[in-house]
Amino acid sequence: MDIVLLGPPGAGKGTQAKRLEDKYGLVQLSTGDMLRAAVASGSELGGKVRAIMDAGELVPDDLVIQLISERIARPDARKGFILDGFPRTTKQAEALDKMLADKGLKLDHVIEMKVDDAQLVDRISGRFTCATCGAGYHDRNHKPKVEGVCDRCGSHQFVRRPDDNAETVKKRLAAYHSQTAPILPYYRAKGLLQSVDGMAGINDVTAALSRILDGGAARPAPSPAGAVVRPAKRAAKPAARASARTKSKPARAKAKPVRKPAPKARPKRAKKRPIKRRSKTKV
């Protein structure tokens, strides 16, 4: 399943892409990460990329396409990918389609995370974090209980990211809209474009995305946040997630067989060990 996720900076694309990656076994492809990884790998292509970046120029589309092409040929991408941050122009979209077609692939979904610009500016520009423990706060929605004191660790030091100010956020949004506007009709004409309400809660957004990926919502109905329903909710639970991935047996079948009657004093069964995360940028 091959997906393009569109949305302005701050819409939560990274967070959602990560969740979809885990849930559907896809790999998230961020062009920035791929470019850095290529340079770090010292490959021939990486050398080209480095020369271009050192010269302060934009990496040309065909190189980016080539990077994507190589990346998706790797075994961990066999179930598909989520592209985030690319394409940004119609030309790139066409080049991507062509590269995929040459491999016998095609995009399955292009999903736009819609945001309310004013709300997003408000959300991002109020953020600050504890310099000591990293706890996140917000000027309006989530202040420390005692002003100037971190709830979690008691620190008095807070930091703001310099680009989390209203002016910068507005500029990023304007850039996003002017760049992306042309590719929306391109994908709409192909019947690929759907949208979700990016301003809904994180879990609601994941649910809406999952519905699209599961083939449920055929219509891009901008539904109220409340309209999030059962299937997605269920899918968010780890058991269902595991079974969706392996597909072979219902999660429940696992629980019943081998259990011996346990002696009373037996301590609770150890929790499943957390699955190790694949490292992202290894080349």
Catalytic residues: 13, 88, 127, 161, 172
Per rule CB under 5 A, is residue 132 in the interface with Zn ion?
yes
Residue closer to Zn ion by CB (options 133, 253) is 133
Q: Which stretch binds Zn ion (CB under 5 A): 91-99, 116-124, 143-151, 213-221?
A: 143-151
Nearest to Zn ion of 152, 171 (CB atom): 152
Q: In this structure, how many other beta carbons lie within 10 angstroms of the beta carbon of residue 119?
A: 11
CA distance 47 to 282: 17
Two structure tokens written together for 163: 């680009």
Encoded one letter per residue, x for contact with Zn ion by CB under 5 A and - for no contact, window 150-189 reads x-xx-x----------------------------------
Give min distance, CB of 145 to Zn ion, in A: 12
144: contact with Zn ion by CB under 5 A: no
Do β-strands 193-197 and 136-138 pair in parallel, antiparallel, or remain unpaired?
Answer: unpaired
Pick 158 or 186: Cβ nearer Zn ion: 158
Closer Cβ to Zn ion, 154 or 250, answer by number:
154
Q: Left (φ > 0), alpha (ψ -120 to 50) or beta: where does 239 sit?
A: alpha
Q: Which two tokens stand for residue 247?
A: 């597909």
* Rounded Cα–Cα distance for residues 188 and 70 (Å): 27
**Helix, strand or coil, per DSSP, at residue 165:** coil
- Kindly tell me which of 26 and 150 has the beta carbon lying closer to Zn ion: 150
Which residue in 83, 110, 130, 173 binds Zn ion (CB under 5 A)? 130
Minimum distance between the CB of residue 130 and Zn ion, rounded to whole angstroms?
3
Cα–Cα distances in angstroms (integers) from residue 255 to residues 145, 238, 241, 242, in the given order: 43, 14, 15, 13
User: Which region, left, alpha or beta, applies to residue 174 given φ > 0 means left and ψ of -120 to 50 means alpha?
Assistant: alpha
Q: What is the DSSP string of 105-146?
A: ----EEEEEE--HHHHHHHHHTEEEETTT--EEETTTB--SB
Q: Rounded to the nearest whole angstrom, what is the least distance from the CB of residue 150 to Zn ion in the complex? A: 3
Smallest distance, Å, CB 124 to Zn ion? 20
CB of 193 to Zn ion, least distance (A): 42
Q: Which residues bind Zn ion (CB under 5 A)?
A: 130, 132-133, 135, 150, 152-153, 155
